[in-house]
Structures are given as structure tokens and as C-alpha cells.
Amino acid sequence: MGGIIRFPDGRSSSLSPVTDPDWVEQWLRRSIQPMKPWTLTVPILPVGENLTTPLGTVVPVLGVDGEGRTIVVLLDLKVDKPLTAVLGEGIATLHWAESLDEKQLETFGRYFWHDPKASLAGVWAQVLGLQERAISFGQQTHVHILSWRSRNLLWEIQNFLLRHGLSILFFGLYTLQGEQGETVAIAEQIAAPLTVSAAVPEVGSVHKVGEVESFLRSLRETTNC
């Protein structure tokens, strides 16, 4: 994937894909700033970055969207990593993020914003350009995973997640760089080809889905011990 970027002054520059996962990860992390909206997947107010959860997963971005939902962004850029490991991290992170209430989100935010007296509702309205109003933060949680895996594989796994009611959304990530080092990132949400109620075809997906279902069962068995 390539393209052309045009600037307001009339200049243009050809774009080429960036394929170094470590470079892209560091570039994305630098894009997360206190008191600035972060808009790659959906517009969010970042309340934390590079957080390590009690379950050992690392959260590059923790934020709150315009509806007050908790949004966690994970990165899946090293495609040699087993997909089951990525899903395990996504489920563990979802479990952790669902436990965060408004007070905890505000505590994270105050530390990230370097303001011990900041109001989550006030900063949320200011940064996202919204009218401050009574809203419950942390009532819903979504995990967004930015991935470099093939679209067909992501379609398949996204449908599996929807069928099981897991609020984990995959986004195809495209990172491009211009001739003068200008970098552009585009995130495309993966729309599952099947509806939640549709039957899953037997051919071509049994082995992969079976592995994930076994993994989920093992998680539940471990939790119940």
C-alpha cells in the first residue's frame, strides 16, 4: 500500500509503507500526549500510556471516548507472535479494564496530565470539544487492537469475538512515510463478514476457531481453581 500526501501549501510527497514494527510502535507511543485528543481508532481522551496491568499485559493507551466508554488500545505488529497469545492479552486486558471505575480512571488521568486536582469530566469535555455534562465513565469497555495481520484472518477472528460477546475490536493498521520523513497512520476497523447470529462455515475455520475456544476454556478453568 502506498499513496501521496498533499500539504496545505500545495506540496505533495509520495508515501511508502513502514515495515519496522519497533519503529512504528515507538512512533505511535510518541503520538500519545497529555491533554491532547488521540484519534487513530476513535477520538479519545488519553488518561494513561504504557501501563502494566496486574496480569502482566502492557497497555500502550488507556483512554475515554466521547460516550464515556473506557478504551484500551493494544498493538499487534509482530505477526510471528501466536495469535492465541494476542487474544489472551486482549482478554486479560479487557478483564482488567472492566474493573476500572470513574475514580480510578480519574486517578490515572491526574498522574498522566500532571495535575492532581483535574476533573475527569472537565478535561474530557475540554479535550474532546464536548459540552460538560453528567456522564458515567467506565460503564462500558472496549479493547482496540491495531494489527498488521492479514485481513482474512482478522475477519475470521473478529467474527468469533462478536459471537462470544467480547468487546475486542481489531483494526488493520497502515503506516506510511513520505520522502521527507512525514509519517501517516491509518486504522481501518475490521468488519466481520458474518453477523453474530450467522452460522460459522465448517470449512477453513474449524482448526483456528477450535484453538481459540480451547484457550478460552483453559482461562475459565484456571480462574475457577
Q: Which residues contact 224 (CB under 8 A, 6 or more apart)?
A: none
3-state DSSP call for residue 218? helix
Amino acid 215: pLDDT? 44
> What global pTM score does this model have?
0.81
Amino acid 147: pLDDT? 97
CA neighbours within 13 Å on the CB side: how many for 212? 23
Amino acid 198: pLDDT? 38
Angstrom distance (rounded) from CA 59 to CA 23: 17
Single-letter residue type at 34 = P
Walk along the chain (225 residues) and give the pLDDT tens digit of each residue. Answer: 555 555 566 666 677 889 999 999 999 999 999 999 999 999 999 999 999 999 889 999 999 999 999 999 999 999 999 999 999 999 999 999 999 999 999 999 999 999 999 999 999 999 999 987 788 899 999 999 999 999 999 999 999 999 999 999 999 999 988 877 778 899 999 986 544 433 333 332 222 333 444 444 444 444 444
Amino acid 194: pLDDT? 46
Q: Which residues contact 217 (CB under 8 A, 6 or more apart)?
A: none
CB 38 within 8 A of CB 61: yes
Amino acid 135: pLDDT? 86
Angstrom distance (rounded) from CA 91 to CA 123: 29
